[in-house]
Structure 1
Amino acid sequence: MGAPEKTTTSNNNSMQRVKVYRLNDDGKWDDQGTGHVTIDYLERSEDLGLFVIDEEDNETLLVHRISSDDIYRKQEDTIISWRDSEYSSDLALSFQETTGCSYIWDHICNVQRNLHFNTLSNETYHGANSELRELPEVELSTLPSILKVVVDSSITDQLCVTELILHDQKFFRKLMDLFRVCEDLENYDGLHIIYKIVRGIILLNSPQIFEKIFSDELIMDIVGCLEYDPDVPHVHHRNFLKEHVVFKEAIPIKDPLALSKIHQTYRISYLKDVVLPRVLDEATFASMNSIIHSNNGMVVTLLKDDTTFIKELFARLKSPSTAPESKTNLVYFLQEFCNLSKSLQMVQQLRLFRDLVNEGIFDVIADIFQSQDKKLILTGTDILMLFVSQDPTLLRSYVSRQEGVSLIGLLIILP
């Protein structure tokens, strides 16, 4: 049985852009149309489903109730397929971007995990562990009870605890409100318990919980809670993140999602490497790295698809009127952008590098090599080595043309 064709058309809003395919009786995939896929609640139901809305006429191309059964398959990083009992046929979504495919795949897995948790929770509620029917109300007097539930539960009960935390939409808001009250009153006993609760919740290693606590709304309060480790001196992590970490925009990033992911990635990295390195287990450490990797891929995807952003970046790099300090920051940004491209799939990374060559990146590197700033020259060399390691034919093609002679000459005389 062959696979459906990949979607390749370019579009700035391509993250969840898909083609819908259905397998016909002849074993061939019929194209059902192109649209955008989301996961949302089905009408008059608490069940979640996949919705694909046609990009041209906004008609619904597909509605599929997500099943707890092991029916979904991910292929070639851009295709999700399954056997749909309601349609009595095989269906497939072919994504334009691998990042969009990973995003929807992760959400399907989370929905399935919740369905399994619900089944397990219902079984547990009717068993001996009836105390897990609900979490204690979030109050100062109940903090020890909440800590006991979060930290002292068995592995099976931890699944139920995770579900209960996610089910209570106000849990984190109440806990953060109580944290601020304890901090205002300098109630260190309460602050130490809240620290242990938040640490225990992080070690539950739930992707859905991470999605909540690493959000723009909660992340700084979570960092605040983790300042009150009773076993180490108090470190003012929030002050460092707010006052000493300066976000330099060498070129304005207008996409709010890209900006949000950039800030979130830095804060998660800070939590992982500075705040919690001695308490994280391997699984949670790996999960945080996975979020960082996914965010990096999303940021690069969003920026590379913004042709205005890329053209403005290279226009400033090439312009003789760009101030030296500004040009230096632009070069450092270009280096970081190229390094982040490692989060992309290989085919996408090669396509991006070819686009950057077409924009004149080798001309920019040649200009960098004429700088008196040795650190800047090393940065240009690092960018060049990335291209050589990924696709040396790009450089070979450039230097074979007349304009490439100067770059070769500069490479020869570099100190």
Structure 2
Amino acid sequence: MGAQEKSSNSNNPMQEKMSSHHGILGYSELVVLMRVKVYRLNDDGKWDDQGTGHVTVDYIERSEDLGLLVADEEDHETLLLHRISAEDIYRKQEDTIISWRDQEYSTELALSFQETTGCSYIWDHICSVQRNMHFSNLNNETFHSVNSDLRELPPVDLSTLPLILKTVVEGGIADQLRVTELILHDQDFFSKLMDLFRISEDLENIENLHIIFKIVRGIIMLNSTQIFEKIFGDELIIDIIGCLEYDPDAPHVRHRNFLKEHVVFKEAISIKDPIVLSKIHQTYRVGYLKDVILSRVLDDATLANLNSMIHSNNAVVVSLLKDDSTFIQDLFGKLKLPSTSAESKKNLVHFLHEFCTLSKSLQVVQQHRLFRDLVNEGIFDIIADVLQSEDKKLVLTG
């Protein structure tokens, strides 16, 4: 898309490795991913350090546009506010630097990340935002002229499966956009397709199952966030994964059996919020689909969109749990209770560790509030206790 990767100049001062910052709350590992230095190219052609802070991708105030926001790590003042552009202005260098020519500042700007993971995460976001801009423009400019002949999808029936496959996988970007629009407008499309899948599986009609696999794979490759929300919802996800078991070019792997029988959701602490539970299950299943089922075929754009969905889910889970005072109190109550078994305590500690790790999905201000609440609940007492454990893995988690 608009963003491109390039190697950087070896004399670039931005390449100096940022030193690890160990804050007084001891959560450096959590905030460090989004920690950046902001650089501005001065008139002498040298990079001026504008300060160190934490970067997020968020909506710009009083606007529907997305931008890069960097808040100073000390006083939380805004170091940088950049509206993401659809133009080809972004460069990724040496896995830790993103730079661009900024029209508003009339100069080159750059973010130097402390961690490659954080750089990749923001880079994926920029690419995703640009992709949506380009798709939106195509939608506005070319839909009616290019796709005037595609007014509706073929009826969903066993006899029309080859025609549905042809409609989904053939054509250019504008055709795919039209297909996406038609699929989203047909409320019964997926329920009918899954009915055909179950019928074909009952009849052991391998030819139909292979076609349905290609249709579902093709729909995923349309890379529509709205379609992802539908097919990865609680009602459809298991059948969708079932369809993807019938890859004609690969051995038959029973993914549904694995997910049902071997993946057990360890509920260290009772989670009552149905939205949280749904997001946790969805995140695992989308990750499994991305990393196992379709790992060979996903392109970078679809991969980035699925990763964005996972990050978004993590943010929702952490955001809802952090505001549930009863949940937080129950968690720490069980951790401090002498009668809690060693195994249960270990599961609770791992849960707390994952909870804190996922909090990097939150905005920096929200992270600080969460850590303040955890300190008030006595997280340092828990850490001190865990560090004295004879279980080396548990000590490492601590």
TM-score (norm 1): 0.64
After superposition, residues 195-234 of structure 1 pair within 5 angstroms as 195-234=213-252
1:125 CA drift (Å): 4.6
Per the alignment, in what secondary structure is the counterpart of residue 271 of structure 2?
coil
SS at match of 1:72: coil
Amino acid at match of 1:122: H
Distance in 2, matches of 1:115 and 1:137, equals 29
Deviation of the 1:167 alpha carbon: 1.1
Contact 1:110 1:208 (8 Å CA) reproduced: no
Structure number with the bigger relative contact order (C-alpha 8 A, sep ≥ 6) is 2
How far apart are residue 350 of structure 1 and its match?
2.0
Structure 2 residue 173 is the aligned partner of structure 1 residue 122: no
* Structure 1 residue corresponding to 2:359, chosen from 326, 341, 344: 341
1: CA distance, partners of 2:160 / 2:339: 63
Deviations 1:303-340 (A, max 9, x none): 00001100111111111111111111101101110111
1:114 deviation in Å?
A: 7.8
Change (3 A) 1:117 1:170: farther
**CA distance change for structure 1 residues 305 and 346 in 2, over 3 Å: closer, same or farther?**
same
RMSD of Structure 2 on Structure 1 (CA):
2.8
1:110 Cα deviation after fit: 8.5
Residue 356 (structure 1) aligns with: 374
Q: Does 1:157 pair with 2:179?
A: no
Cα deviation for residue 375 of structure 1 reads 1.5
The residue aligned with 2:291 is 273
CA distance in 2, matches of 1:230, 1:113: 31
Distance across 2 between alignment mates of 1:224 and 1:185: 15
Matched, 1:250 2:242: no
| Number of equivalences | 282
Q: Which amino acid aligns with 2:260?
A: K
Per-residue CA deviation, residues 379-410 of structure 1 (Å, 9 max, x unaligned), is 11xxxxxxxxxxxxxxxxxxxxxxxxxxxxxx
Offset at 1:220? 0.5
SS of equivalent to 1:376 = helix
Residue 365 of structure 1 corresponds to 383
In structure 1, list runs of 5 or more residues that go unmatched. Answer: 1-70, 78-105, 381-415
Larger radius of gyration: 1
Letter in 2 for 1:213: I
Q: Is the 8 A contact 1:110 1:207 kept in 2?
A: no
1:309 corresponds in structure 2 to: 327
Match of 2:333, SS state, is helix
48, 64, 86: which is aligned to 1:72?
Answer: 64
Q: Deviations over 1:211-236 (max 9, x none)?
A: 10010010000000000000000000
Q: Secondary structure at the match of 1:215?
A: coil
The separation in 2 between residues aligned to 1:194 and 1:370, in whole angstroms, is 55
8 Å CA contact 1:205–1:283 kept in 2: the answer is yes
Matched, 1:319 2:311: no
- SS state at 2:330 partner: helix
Contact in 1 for aligned 2:147/2:175 (Cα 8 Å): no
Is 2:154 the partner of 1:136?
yes
Aligned residues of 2:167 and 2:179 also touching (Cα < 8 A): yes
Give the Cα–Cα distance (whole angstroms) in 2 for the partners of residues 353 and 255 of structure 1: 22
Shift, 1:121, TM fit: 3.7
Give unpaired runs (5+ residues) of structure 2.
Answer: 1-62, 71-127
CA shift digits 1:133-176 (9 cap, x unpaired): 11111111111111111111111111101111111111101100
* CA contact 1:250–1:330 (8 Å) conserved in 2: yes
Q: Which amino acid aligns with 1:223?
A: I
Cα deviation, residue 244, structure 1:
0.9
Q: Give, in whole Å, the separation in 1 of the partners of 2:157 and 2:311.
A: 37
Over residues 265-295 of structure 1, what are the superposed CA-to-partner deviations in whole Å (9 max), with x where a residue is unaligned? 0000000001000010000000000000000
CA separation of 1:123 and 1:157: change in aligned 2, threshold 3 A: same
Q: TM-score, normalised by structure 2?
A: 0.66
Mapped contact 1:179–1:225 kept (Cα < 8 A): yes
Corresponding residue for residue 347 of structure 2: 329
